[in-house]
Every structure is written in structure tokens, then in C-alpha cells.
Structure 1
Amino acid sequence: MKSELHTVCRCHFPRIYWLPEEEYFWGCRVLASLSNMGELFRSEEMTLAQLFLQSEAAYCCVSELGEIGMVQFRDLNPDVNVFQRKFVNEVRRCEEMDRKLRFVEKEIKKANIQIVDTGENPEVPSPRDMIDMEATFEKLENELKEINTNQEALKKNFLELTELKHILRRTQQFFDEMEDPSLLEESSILLDPNEPHRVAPLRLGFVAGVIGRERIPTFERMLWRVCRGNVFLRQAEIEDPLEDPTLGSQVHKSVFIIFFQGDQLKNRVKKICEGFRATLYPCPETPQERKEMLAGVNARIDDLQMVLNQTEDHRQRVLQAAAKTVRVWFIKVRKMKAIYHTLNLCNIDVTQKCLIAEVWCPVSDMDSIQFALRRGTEKSGSTVPSILNRMQTNQTPPTYNKTSKFTSGFQSIVDAYGIGSYREMNPAPYTIITFPFLFAVMFGDLGHGVLMTSAALYLVLRETRLIAQKSDNEMFNMVFAGRYIILLMGIFSMYTGLIYNDCFSKSLNIFGSGWSVRPMFDSKRGGNWTFDTLKGSAALQLDPAVDGVFSGPYPIGIDPIWNIAINKLSFLNSFKMKMSVILGVSHMLFGVTLSLFNHLYFQKPLNIYLGFIPEILFMACLFGYLVILVFYKWVSYNVHISKDAPSLLIAFINMFLFNYSDTTNKPLYRGQMAIQIILIVIALACVPCMLIVKTLVLRRQHMWKKHLGTQNFGGIRVGNGPTEDEAGIIQHDQLAQQCDEEPEFNFGDVAVHQAIHTIEYCLGCISNTASYLRLWALSLAHAQLSEVLWKMVMHIGLSSKSIGGFVLLAIVFYFFAVLTVAILLIMEGLSAFLHALRLHWVEFQNKFYCGQGFKFLPFTFESILEGRSED
């Protein structure tokens, strides 16, 4: 492997061939890593390649490709029926083996036996091993079926004997309860009280059986109605539940005995018993016969119980042995099935000796694919090497973004919006920072951030053990998959909570407040407050213009004195609203800037001059200017002149109305009118550039291509079209040629599309900026909910100063903790998560991200190991 890598590196980096071997490999790795740095920000470069596989080596080569998971096979037989493909019989055999293994797995789970999962990744068995595997699975299935059949028959016999035992016991009790049992056992003589002489003796018959306990009331009413009250029913419950041999569940039954007279009633009684699924058993008439029969039944039950125990022990041994290897068998069979299914996608040449496949694969992984093919050829024993031929095509390749366990969650957020178009800018690297940060702006609380970070850190540190457990809880699996997202959201929430100086609705006084009340009641310095003023006033306002009252800003975040100020909400409203606008405009400008890199990469200068530049100017002249005004006002106005500061909102509205005669709102700086008029004119001029000019230029380019294209006269090239070499792209099938034809230019459609895009962008700049105000709204909502929860719950426990207050505090703290986790962490966290998701999908990604591609789905065995079902 090392020599192969050395050879490949020499081919790719011939200028460093003179280095020592160790330094040489180090240099290769560095250069390879540097070349892959650019792939982080856009999808991998893909290529279409042809595989020529020898028939005897195709199985092993596809197996090696499945292990590395770097190629996506194309179906070269789209018109061929699934049942008419070459390896359909092998696929069916694999499906039959998979069915047998599912039967074995079902029996193992029914017996409550744990399936051993060592995490082993077995190699793919060779095709000739399929016969041995089929024989093993067939033997195991037949043995289990035979054991189940015998066991079911034995359990059914055991159930019948058990029911007969209860019948013999209960019927004897019924007869013993009668005053004269001999009258019922031998004959019954009915005497007429009006006649002194004896009439002919009449014999009463009876039947005995068992019936489900829940059917007894209905059974009794049916007997009474059908037989018109001419039968006598006695029943008693069987105390111990009986096992149903067919369903394996526990059932509760009752013993009954019915006395009747005549064959007609006997037939009716038997029909009713049959309809209610009651089981009738023969019951002797004399006590001696019943006693002898009961002794024989008990002896048979004992013998049968011993046989049942031995059968169950044997079944447990078979299932325990199968449980140790059933997972490995599943992996082997499903790998074989996947290989044959993939081979069915290939073409077979006329000589039947070579299979031809077409695959999409990353260009950076071509060497690994070559090595895999070489390993597969060597493993099969073939002497003819497999060939990987890179092809040129006009087809759009699939989009493939390499991810790690850290970046996969953020990439999933982007892919949920839409799979990126091939080679366009990937928002995932930027989402890693901006998504948790915007979440934290809405969720900013140091205490809640610590709790969220702790929970995510637990999932991260124990991820290996949690992955091995393979939980079936869908909610837990979803949270576990996003553990790194939650970790970053918690860390950023701790940072924003520190900036807001908010920890469970309380402020942290770490550096001491920058405000002081001492100068306010110092008469020598002009103050007019006294200690009586402080005691007698419910609310007082500090004046920062008085010397010594405000010593300077807090080192980091909000001054803790604002937590006790009655105008705290007004101050935070203004601060967080301006902060939301600044973050929103910066985020959108960054998104528009990223579109420039797409235009540069795809070499579309028209989109730069008539797309990107007007878009960035339109947004910067309007909303970028607003952000500059916010910073300018913060810097230019101090505490002494802040009362005369003009309103930014009114100034911004007047800018659009060209209203500069408003005496109530003074200008912020000299020359404001001229600058704002210029900005408005530039912004308005950008609209026709995007709306009209770009459409006309597109029409002109189309006409130029139509009339001044490449023409060949006697082998001489005329015009500015592509050369023959550039135009010689391989069209390897007719379908691809039809798909790659450029759509006909329609001026009306292009004009409508450009008008929609322009209107959407211009109006979107306004609506999207307003949409970022959700950062302000949710941040205030979270802070207020936290404060209300503290005052309504925790404040109760802290108000008591007695000894019993400790118990009350413990109870109150429990409810406070539960409500904090349930409402502020889960519900508020989910709300902030969804709003941050919306800001990225709608406000950020639509500035540069098309998301109209299709995902790269490589042929890999990883899904089999993870237990996911195959396509």
C-alpha cells in the first residue's frame, strides 16, 4: 500500500521526487490536504467513469468498491425488466436466505434471547460459499420449524389434558354438592304429588367442557333462550391461566357442566357449545371411573411436562447458538445481495467475458478506487486487470460534500432546504458559526447555556458507548445526531448571556457597576439628594451628565445596575433592536458576497456586472447606510447632547420621501441631504439594471450565438465559437444527448423570470431586514419568561426565613428546575432553533444558494452495518 501511494504521489507531484521517502510522504500529505481545503467551501469535483470488469473478477471488485463507498453506479439497463437481468437468480437466492434469517431472528426475539452484536464487519463471502450458507440456513430453519411443530403439538396435548383434569375435579365437586348424587348418576325418577304411585324412571344426560371466561354470560343466556329453560348449567372458574399453544398467550377459562333430558336438547347444547368455541370432553358417570381417569391424566401430564421441558431446552440451545452469529449472517447475505443487485446495473459485452459499468465518483478519490479494483482483481485470482476509464460528459454530476461527525449535522440543515447544485458554494461551513450564533442571540442566558452545554457535552463524551447501544428511540436519535450543533448553541448562548449579563434572569456583578449614587447627594458637588430622599422615594433616576455618577462602561456586556432599573426594558429594547438590524444586514450582505464566488467559478461575468454589483449596491446604499447611521449616532452623541439626538427611524423614512424640511428631526451630519439623495438615486438605478438591461444583454448574446457561431468552410474555422477539441465531448448514450440540449431561448420567459427575481430581491431586502427583528423579539421574550419564572416560583422559596423555609425552598427549587428545563430549555430552545433555521434558509441562503442538485449516493456497505434498510 505504501509503495502504491509512493507511485501515485510521484505521478501527481513529480517536482519533489528527490526527497527522502519519509519526507516525501509527509510532503504529499501536506499538498493533498492543501488541495482539499478548497473543497470544504463547495462540493467535490465529480467525474463520470467507465469500469471494465472481467466476469470472474466483477464480484470481488464490486465488493471492494462497496467497502470504500466512493462510487455511485448508473443503471445501464433501464429498459430491461428486473426479472430478465443476468443475476436475478442470485438475488432471489439471497432474498430467500434473508427470509430464513428473519425467521430465525423472529424466533430469537420471541424467546427473549439477546442477539450478540460485537460490531464485527465480516468480509463478503465468495460466490461459491453461497451453497454452504444456503444449506446451513435451510437446516436451521427446518430444525426450528420441526421443533416448533412438535412443541405446539405437545402443548396442545398438554392443554387438553390440563383442561380434562380440571373438568374431572370440578364435576366431582358438582356431584358431591347434590343431595342425592345417585339420582343424577344413574337415573332420575320424577314423582307427581297428586298421584301416589311411581311413574317410569327418566335418565338425565350431561356434557362437560371448558369455555373462555369472558363468554360465560352470553353462553348462559343463549342456553336459556334456545333450550327454553329446560337445561341446568353449573360453571366454575379455573384459577390458573392456561397457555394457548397457537398464540402463545395466557387465557382464562371456566369449567361447565350442563344437564339436559332427551337427544333433541343434547344436539342443541352441542351446537351452542360449538358456536361458542367451547371444548367438550368425555366425562364418566360414576365417581370411581372419574377417579381412575383423573389418576391416569395426572400421570400423562407429568410425562408430558418432562418432554416439554426437554424440547424447550433443546430449542433454547439452538436459538442461543444462532444468536451468536445471526448478525454476521445478516451482513454477509445483505452484502451479497447488494453486490448482485449492483451487477445487474452493468452491461455485458457480446463475448460474455466482461462487464461494463458507469459510475460517478469524486476526482480526488480516483486513486483509492484504482487500489480497490486492484485488490478485487487479486482476490479473485484473475490475471486481467480491471480498467477505470474517465469519461467526459455534459450531464450534471451529483453533489457530494464530504462531512465528518462534526460537520454532518450542519450539512443536514443545509440539505434539508435543498441539495446544492453541482460545485456551487456550500453554506455549511458558514452555518457552523452563524447558526449557533443567531440561535444564541435569541436564547442568550448564561445559566441556560451552561445547562445546554453540559447536556451536549455528555452526549459528545459518551458518543462511542451510546452509538454501540443502538437506541430505537427516534427522539433521542434525532437529538444525538445533532449533539455538536447543541454543543455550539450552548457555548454561544453562554457568550451572549455574558454580553446580556443575564443568568437565570439575574445579573452578575463581577467587575462592579460603572454607576455611583454618591455624587447625587453630595451638596458640595451640586447634588440635591439626601439619605431621606433615598429612603422616601420609590424610584429615582441617575443622571449621567453629573460628574462622578458614570465612571465608565462595564468591561464586558451590560452593566448589572440595569437589572434593578425600572427602565431596563426600554434600554434593552433599543439596544437589541439595533443589534438585530446590524446582524441581519451584515448576514445578508455576506450572503450576497458569496454569490460573487459562484459567478467567478462558473465564469458568468454578466451575472457579476448586472447581478451581483446592482444587488450589493442596492442593499448597501439603503440598509448598509442605516447600519452606518446606527454606529455614527452611538459614536457622535454623548450624555450631554444625547437629548438632542435625532430619531434614526424618522430620518430613514424622510430619506425615502425626500423630506428634509422637518424641523423636529435635525440632520445627523453636514451634507446628509446630498449623500442620501445620491444613495437613493444609485439604489433606484440598480433596479433597471437588473430588470431590463440584463434581459436585453441576454437576448443580444443569444442572437450573436445564433448568427455568428462556428462555421467550417473547407476545414477553416470561422467565428468565435468553441474549437473542435473543446466541442468533442463524448456523448456515450442517446439519453444523455437529449438531456444535455440547451433549452430554446424565449425572450418573454427570460423577461418574466428576471422581473420576478428583481422584484423578489428588492422587496426581500425590506422584508428580510424586518425578519431579522425576530432576534430582538425572541431575546426579549426569553429574558421576560426567565424573569417571570424566577419571580413566580423561585421567589416564593427565597421569601421565607424560618427553618421550614429550607424544606419549602427544596420543593420550590424542584418545580423551578422542572419548569426551567421544560419551558425555557426545551420549548424556548426549539422555538429559537426553528427561527434560526428560517433565517438561514430564507434570508441568508436565497442570496447565493440555488439548491437544485441531486445527492451523491455511493454504493456502500455502511448502511448494512448501521442496520438501515437498503433501497
Structure 2
Amino acid sequence: MSSAEMSMVQMYIPTEVAREVIYSVGELSLVQFIDLNSKVNEFQRSFVKELRRLDNIERQYTYFKTELDKRHIEVKATPFEVTGVQQSEIDEHAENAQLLEDRLSQLIDANSDLYVNQRDLKQFRYSVQAVDNVFKSSSNSDIPSGLGESDELLGNLESGGNSGSGSRQGNFISGVISRSKVGTLQQILWRVLRGNLYYYTEEVVEPIYDVKNDEYVDVNTFIIFSHGSMIYQRIRKICESLNASIYNVDLIPDLRAVQLEELKVKLTDVDTVLQQTEAALNSELIAISRDLPKWWEVIAREKAVYQTMNKCDYGDSRKTLIAEGWVPSDQVIQLNSAVKGANNTQSIPTIVNVMETTKTPPTFHRTNKFTEAFQSICDSYGVATYQEVNPGLPTIITFPFMFAIMFGDLGHGFILFLAAITLVLNEKSISAMKRDEIFDMAFTGRYILLLMGIFSMYTGFLYNDIFSRSMTIFKSGWEWPEKFEIGQTLFAKQVGTYAMGLDPAWHGTENALLFSNSYKMKLSILMGYLHMSYSYMFSLVNYLYFHSVIDILGNFVPGLLFMQGIFGYLSLCIVYKWSVDWFAIEKQPPGLLNMLISMFLSPGTVEEPLYGGQATVQVILLGVALVCVPWLLLLKPLYYKRKFDREAKEQEYIQLANNESEVTDETIDDGGDGDDDEHHEEHTFGDIMIHQVIHTIEFCLNCVSHTASYLRLWALSLAHAQLSTVLWTMTLGGSFGMVGVSGVFMTVILFGMWFILTVVILVVMEGTSAMLHSLRLHWVESMSKFFEGEGRLYEPFTFKSLLAGVF
């Protein structure tokens, strides 16, 4: 149950084949390399030049991917396999990436210019049409006037008689502006010119594509009439400050018609060229999309190789690359074979040495697709210390079972089972899909969901609960009276024992909730006691493995006696109370909670005895528990205090014997060295004492709080059953009394409502809640009994998942 045994290896790799050897190691996914250049700046390492080149290629591939996403071109990569890549292939990839980037840049720039040209031509056309509409309507009396008589002004302008300039454009400004800025433009002009203008605007029905911001913008055309060239310059600057496009529109109607015809011809030509450019660009991108994942994989592997080589050190002659790393001990031979095969053309072999070290190796737990998710649950709390007991294995059973105790319903468990088995049976196709975050979490934990559904079906069978209904599978152990009067309180007679699970006779009775309440509450205490007890035994396994006798005697033994003397005794009393037929012996069963309280408050006094000699047993157990507190608190610190004193004396004797102490008489009289040693001992002893005080207080309090915490099993199980009953009663249960067409219609409608609410509320929401509570019981109540969790995860150099999240 502990992590795999690890070895530190040192590899001497000839420089000529360093890249090939590291590449082969990456394909094995065995070595976690140690950074031998941790004190060297990233930009001063040996392979910065190669990494910069590869970074540039990745930048180019990112550019290709961005353009593919922008044009919604899906990357449909054909299955490929990347094996050892030669340096010449990398050079070819770099050259091709540069050529493709230049080609795409030219096409995209040309495409953007064409879109800008198309936008200007469209806006110009709309401006000409707007000016045409204004002058055609100049005789209408409803045209607003801003400069005296508007009819006279517009008539003079169209006849060319205004200002005597002879300009074909006349004294007006026309253009196009974003619709959101129309009001702003009008307010600014009105305040600057104090109302001495004629302003006209109309909406453009077609949105205009803005290639710069890659969006369609609603725009308006506008026409402004005023007096004076200086005023016109001011108006133009105001319009340009609001990013309006200004166009020179002919004043004469015939010339405007010619302008419209010319714009139409130009727009047709631009649209034709734009379609051809778009087709060429899309064809280029589609061709890139077929091979981009493979190219990117090759470059990502090459980059990972050089990043790993940057962690290695050169020998004195710079002919050998020295690498160090951690490898599972049983795979050192496989590593040796792989690196030898990578440089079989060289006369100088790669040497792999297993080193002796005092460094703590990383923690490596071997998993498969079934156990991986359960291991992730434990690793999320903390990575186990090297060779510490791994809580991941028992979690495979305890996690879904704790969930099932809270979620116990045969129907709800079956729905969860169906969802999980669908993910399991289609895991190959789903793993190849691009998944969002929530669906990916469900898919990753598909085997957890599967076991949660199976265990929930089992506990639902024991609870005799399927969608809040009961099942009569075996013969009931209770018999109701055949004759009774109306209004009479009925009492069932026990005639036997139900074969397995909860007797269906309890369903619908007045005291059903009282019975299930007491039953599930005591079961929760028993489950908590068993869960914590076996978890606490793992601490003994750790102490035995690490040969820590003082932890066995100073922590495990007194802790075990304290826990078993109080809560083990309570659990035993629960089972014993269930085994007694209190009705047959005509006695009232005692309350166990009051019994436990009086055991501490009034030792030796038992008001309602559960068994003979109970008072004596409880006094003995209470005495053992009280003795265990100072035992926990003092034994380990006093042991280390004596150990430090003995080591200090031994060191002093060694120094005197070897004449290593060179102190003057003044120093000896002053006692400086002795004070320093004493200070060191007191500081170390103080640390251990403080740690042990905290551990003792935490352990004693946690025995109480953690046991009570398991009552969540009872509370959530009760809440789930009651909520299921309420949902049935308020929806589907009320439809069974209806008859005829209306009854059929209401049954269908209410069934749909019941099923949707069951899945959403009882399966998804309640299931999530129960899962989180089960997670807390493992992280806090169970793992705190033995789990140190000060390890670091084994992360070997590998080529797997280099492009995770990219495609």
C-alpha cells in the first residue's frame, strides 16, 4: 500500500548523442530529472539559442491556430505517431513554418485591405444616396430648417449658386458615423455652432463589417450644411475626432448618378477579388489544419528535450552531459537498455549509475484508469510522504460506500449507475472529444460514479427504499391484527424477522421516522468508529515501517487505548443493546447518550444499567483514558530529552579525546560553549514538547468531534429520504387518484415533472452534497489519524499531454 521504491540515477551522456538519448528517455516516461543548474539564470544556460528558435516556431503555430479559430475551421487531425525526429526534420519544420507565416500574412493583409476598401465603397455609396434623398426632398415643407429658409438654401446649393465657389461638392459635409455616436455628434455641433447649421441623418439598414475589430457595426449617414470655410474646417475636425468617415459627394444630380454607377462597378470588382482571396486563404488554412497537430507535437517534444537538457550539467571537458534524476527502482534496467539503444552508433556509451543518497525521493503510486481518480482524491489533500501508507487503495471502497449511506435509494442509485456506465462504455470516443470543465470532471471520475451508483443501489435495498416507495421482497416479520375498530390505534405483532434490510411493515407507520432516526443514527456512530479505527491502524503500519518505536509507545498505544476505551466502548454498547430483547425481559432500554455523559460526570454511578458490573467497567475505562492523556503528552518529549542529553555528552567526550576543543581559560571560566549546547538542547526539546502538546489536545478533542461528525451520514440519509417522499407526494403520487382522459394527461405531465426534479434535485444536487460530505470524512476524519502528507509528486519527463488544452 506504500509508494513505489525510488532510486537516484546519474547518467553520463556523450554530447554528440545527448539529444537522442534524452528523447528516448522522454518516450519511456521514467525519469524525473533534477535541475543541476538551479542557480543559473534561464537565459545563461547552454541551450537558450535552440529554445528561442523553437519558441518562434510555436509562436507561428499559435498564429495559425488563432486564424483557424477565427474562421471556425475545425482541426481534424488524422491519427499520427511521432517517433524519433532528426535535427534535419526540425530545420525543415522551421523553414516551412516561416514560409507559411509569410504566405498567410500576405493573404490576411490583402484580405484586410480588401475589406477596408469594400467598407469605404459601401459607405461612400450610402453617403451619395443620402445626399440624393436630401435634395430630392428639398421641396417638402417638413424638412427642418437650421439656416433661415431651408428650401431656399437647398435650392441654391443644388443649382450651384451658393458661395460662388464653383465647387462640385458645394458647402456641405457628408459621411458615415457609428450609430452610437450620432447623438454625441449632433450635440457637439449644436453647441459649437450655436444652432447655425442644418443637420440631416438617416440609418443604414445593412451593418458595416469592421475588419479591424472583427465585428459588424450599425452606422448612420449624415449631411451638415453651414456657412463659411472656417466653420466647415471645424465641423470636419469634430467629425474626424468621432471616427466618422467623410466623403466628397457631387452637388450636381447627374454627376451623383455617375458616382453611384462608378461605385457599383468598383464594389462588384472588389467583391469578386475578395471572394477569391477568401477562398485562397481558407484553402491554405484547411491544408494547415490537417497537419498542424502533428507539427506542433514534434516541436513541443523538441522543446521539452532541450528544456530537460538545460537541467543537465556539462563535464569538465564539455564532452559529456551529466544528468541526475529519480527512477522507480524496478525500472532501472529498462532505462539502461533504452539509453544504450539510443547511442549504439557511438564508441563512447551512455553510463547509468545508481547513486546512494540521503535525499527524500518523490512519491510514486502506480495507478490505472480505474484507480487513478481515487488516487487523485487523496493527492488533492496532500501527497503522501515517501513510503508512507497510501490511503488511495481503501478509498476505492470507503468513499463510494460512505456516499451510498447518505444517498441510499435503489432508484436514484440506478439512475446514477446508468449515467456512469454510459461514460465507461463509451470512454474511447469520449476521451477523443473536446470536453468542457464540468463534463471533463464527470468523465475523469466515471469509475467513482459507477461505484457510487452500485453502492447506492445496495444501501437502497437495505433501506427498502426505491423512489421513496418500499418493496416487499421477503415475508414481513410483523403481522397486523385482522379485526379492529375505526379510530383504534393498531399495534403490529412481531412474528419473525425480515430476511434482509428494513422490514416494509415500517413504511407508513406513525413511528416510522422515530425508528429510522434511531436506527440510522446509531449506524452512523458504528460506521464512524470502524472507519476511524482502521485508519488509526495505518499509523501503526507507518511506525513499524520507519522503525519508530517511540511513536508506537508514545503515540499509538495511548491513543488506541483512549479511543477504544471511550468510543469503542460506546459502539460495543450499541451492538449489545440491539442484541437484547427488551420487550421479553420487560425492561426499559437505557439511553446510551446519558450513559456516556454520566460515565464522565458521575463515575461509578449507573442509573439505568445495561449489563451487570457496568459501573466497575466504566470506572476502569475512564481511569485508562485519563492515564493516556499524560502518557501521550510526556513520554515522547522525555525520551528525546534523554536522547539529546546522551548525544551531547558523547560528543563532548569525543571532542576532549581528540583534542578538538581549543578554548582559552577565560572561555572555559565563562562557560560559553556549555551555554550554547544547553540552548540548542532546550530549543530542540521545546519544539518537540510544543508539537506533542498540540498533538495531544488535537487527538483527544478530535476523538469527540470526529465521532460526532459521522452523524452527517444519518442526517443526510434522513434528509434524502424525506425529500424524496415529499417530491413523490407533491407530483406523481397525486395523479394516481385521477381517472379518465384528464387522469392520463395529468399522469404524463406529473411524471415528467417528477422525473426532471428527481434527476436535477435528488440525483445531481443531493448527490453532489453527499459526495462532498464523503470527501470531508476521508480528508479530515480518516486521513488525519495517520496521514503525514509531506511528500512531493513523482513527475517524470514525458511526452504525454504536451498539447493538452490546445486542440
Same structural fold, with TM-score higher than 0.5 when normalized by the shorter chain: yes
Aligned to 1:295: 261
Aligned to 1:541: 491
Cα deviation, 1:82-110, whole Å, max 9, x if unaligned, reads 11111000011011110011111111111
383-392 or 295-304: bigger deviation:
295-304
Aligned to 1:819: 757
Cα deviation, 1:603-631, whole Å, max 9, x if unaligned, reads 11222223222222221222212222222
Sequence identity percentage: 40
Alignment of 1:150-549 (within 5 A): 150-179=110-139, 183-188=156-161, 205-378=171-344, 381-471=345-435, 473-517=436-480, 520=481, 530-531=483-484, 533=485, 535-537=486-488, 539-542=489-492, 549=493
Aligned to 2:675: none
Cα deviation, 1:339-359, whole Å, max 9, x if unaligned, reads 111101110012111000110
Report the Cα distance in structure 1 between the residues aligned to 2:333 and 2:185, rounded to whole angstroms: 79
Q: Does 1:680 align with 2:680?
A: no
Q: Does 1:691 align with 2:633?
A: yes
Contact 1:658 1:677 in 2 (8 A): no
Code of the residue aligned with 1:669 in structure 2: it is Y
- Using the TM superposition, give the Cα deviation of residue 687 of structure 1 relative to its aligned residue in structure 2, in angstroms: 2.4
CA gap of 1:63–1:744, structure 2 versus 1, over 3 A, is farther
Cα deviation, 1:477-506, whole Å, max 9, x if unaligned, reads 112111111111111111111111111111
Report the Cα distance in structure 2 between the residues aligned to 1:150 and 1:187, rounded to whole angstroms: 41
CA gap of 1:115–1:748, structure 2 versus 1, over 3 A, is same
Secondary structure of the structure 1 residue equivalent to 2:388: coil
Q: Give unmatched runs, 5+ long, in structure 1.
A: 1-40, 191-198, 522-529, 543-548, 717-741
Question: Between Structure 1 and Structure 2, how many residues are aligned?
Answer: 771
Report the Cα distance in structure 1 between the residues aligned to 2:124 and 2:586, rounded to whole angstroms: 101
58-67 or 167-176: bigger deviation:
167-176
Alignment counterpart, residue 550 of structure 2, candidates 606, 610, 625: 606
CA gap of 1:276–1:675, structure 2 versus 1, over 3 A, is closer
Report the Cα distance in structure 1 between the residues aligned to 2:580 and 2:158, rounded to whole angstroms: 117
CA gap of 1:660–1:93, structure 2 versus 1, over 3 A, is same
Report the Cα distance in structure 2 between the residues aligned to 1:642 and 1:479, rounded to whole angstroms: 54
Secondary structure of the structure 2 residue equivalent to 1:211: strand
Report the Cα distance in structure 2 between the residues aligned to 1:642 and 1:68, rounded to whole angstroms: 73
- Using the TM superposition, give the Cα deviation of residue 513 of structure 1 relative to its aligned residue in structure 2, in angstroms: 1.6
Aligned to 1:38: none
Cα deviation, 1:509-552, whole Å, max 9, x if unaligned, reads 111322112xx45xxxxxxxx34x1x343x4222xxxxxx3221
CA gap of 1:291–1:200, structure 2 versus 1, over 3 A, is closer
Code of the residue aligned with 1:419 in structure 2: it is V
Report the Cα distance in structure 1 between the residues aligned to 2:77 and 2:753, rounded to whole angstroms: 41
Report the Cα distance in structure 2 between the residues aligned to 1:462 and 1:401, rounded to whole angstroms: 27
- Using the TM superposition, give the Cα deviation of residue 221 of structure 1 relative to its aligned residue in structure 2, in angstroms: 3.0
626-635 or 325-334: bigger deviation:
626-635
Report the Cα distance in structure 1 between the residues aligned to 2:487 and 2:112, rounded to whole angstroms: 91
- Using the TM superposition, give the Cα deviation of residue 566 of structure 1 relative to its aligned residue in structure 2, in angstroms: 0.5
Q: Does 1:810 align with 2:748?
A: yes
Report the Cα distance in structure 1 between the residues aligned to 2:462 and 2:404, rounded to whole angstroms: 11
CA gap of 1:201–1:691, structure 2 versus 1, over 3 A, is closer
Cα deviation, 1:191-246, whole Å, max 9, x if unaligned, reads xxxxxxxx999996223222222322332333333233333233332222222232
Report the Cα distance in structure 1 between the residues aligned to 2:652 and 2:411, rounded to whole angstroms: 69
CA gap of 1:456–1:709, structure 2 versus 1, over 3 A, is farther
CA gap of 1:849–1:206, structure 2 versus 1, over 3 A, is same
CA gap of 1:212–1:309, structure 2 versus 1, over 3 A, is same
CA gap of 1:53–1:744, structure 2 versus 1, over 3 A, is farther
Report the Cα distance in structure 1 between the residues aligned to 2:94 and 2:50, rounded to whole angstroms: 12
Alignment counterpart, residue 586 of structure 1, candidates 530, 539, 543: 530
Aligned to 1:669: 611
Secondary structure of the structure 1 residue equivalent to 2:740: coil
Report the Cα distance in structure 2 between the residues aligned to 1:366 and 1:388, rounded to whole angstroms: 9
Aligned to 1:56: 16
Aligned to 1:564: 508
Report the Cα distance in structure 2 between the residues aligned to 1:172 and 1:687, rounded to whole angstroms: 99
- Using the TM superposition, give the Cα deviation of residue 754 of structure 1 relative to its aligned residue in structure 2, in angstroms: 1.4
Report the Cα distance in structure 1 between the residues aligned to 2:167 and 2:366, rounded to whole angstroms: 94
Q: Does 1:852 align with 2:794?
A: no
Aligned to 1:78: 38
Alignment of 1:655-666 (within 5 A): 655-662=599-606, 664-665=607-608
Report the Cα distance in structure 2 between the residues aligned to 1:401 and 1:189, rounded to whole angstroms: 91
Contact 1:121 1:865 in 2 (8 A): no
Contact 2:61 2:296 in 1 (8 A): yes
Report the Cα distance in structure 1 between the residues aligned to 2:463 and 2:195, rounded to whole angstroms: 86
Secondary structure of the structure 2 residue equivalent to 1:864: coil
Contact 2:644 2:681 in 1 (8 A): no
Code of the residue aligned with 1:587 in structure 2: it is H
Code of the residue aligned with 1:186 in structure 2: it is S
- Using the TM superposition, give the Cα deviation of residue 188 of structure 1 relative to its aligned residue in structure 2, in angstroms: 4.3
Code of the residue aligned with 1:690 in structure 2: it is L
Cα deviation, 1:712-732, whole Å, max 9, x if unaligned, reads 99x99xxxxxxxxxxxxxxxx
Contact 1:188 1:202 in 2 (8 A): no
Alignment counterpart, residue 630 of structure 1, candidates 567, 571, 574: 574
Report the Cα distance in structure 2 between the residues aligned to 1:234 and 1:649, rounded to whole angstroms: 88
Alignment of 1:692-771 (within 5 A): 692-708=634-650, 746-771=684-709
- TM-score (norm. length: structure 1): 0.84
Aligned to 1:35: none
Contact 2:598 2:605 in 1 (8 A): no
Code of the residue aligned with 1:434 in structure 2: it is T
Contact 2:604 2:619 in 1 (8 A): no
Q: Give unmatched runs, 5+ long, in structure 2.
A: 140-150, 659-679
Report the Cα distance in structure 1 between the residues aligned to 2:62 and 2:714, rounded to whole angstroms: 55
Aligned to 1:110: 70
Report the Cα distance in structure 1 between the residues aligned to 2:761 and 2:588, rounded to whole angstroms: 43
Secondary structure of the structure 2 residue equivalent to 1:862: coil
Contact 2:78 2:290 in 1 (8 A): no
CA gap of 1:149–1:644, structure 2 versus 1, over 3 A, is closer
Code of the residue aligned with 1:305 in structure 2: it is D
CA gap of 1:202–1:616, structure 2 versus 1, over 3 A, is closer
Contact 1:124 1:336 in 2 (8 A): no
Report the Cα distance in structure 2 between the residues aligned to 1:154 and 1:369, rounded to whole angstroms: 58
Code of the residue aligned with 2:716 in structure 1: it is L
- Using the TM superposition, give the Cα deviation of residue 652 of structure 1 relative to its aligned residue in structure 2, in angstroms: 2.8
Code of the residue aligned with 1:848 in structure 2: it is F
Code of the residue aligned with 2:370 in structure 1: it is F
Code of the residue aligned with 1:639 in structure 2: it is F
Code of the residue aligned with 1:499 in structure 2: it is L
Report the Cα distance in structure 1 between the residues aligned to 2:558 and 2:43, rounded to whole angstroms: 58
Secondary structure of the structure 2 residue equivalent to 1:668: coil
Report the Cα distance in structure 2 between the residues aligned to 1:573 and 1:746, rounded to whole angstroms: 51
359-368 or 93-102: bigger deviation:
359-368
Secondary structure of the structure 2 residue equivalent to 1:683: helix
Report the Cα distance in structure 1 between the residues aligned to 2:519 and 2:362, rounded to whole angstroms: 46
Aligned to 2:147: none
Aligned to 1:7: none
Report the Cα distance in structure 2 between the residues aligned to 1:864 and 1:846, rounded to whole angstroms: 36
Q: Does 1:795 align with 2:722?
A: no
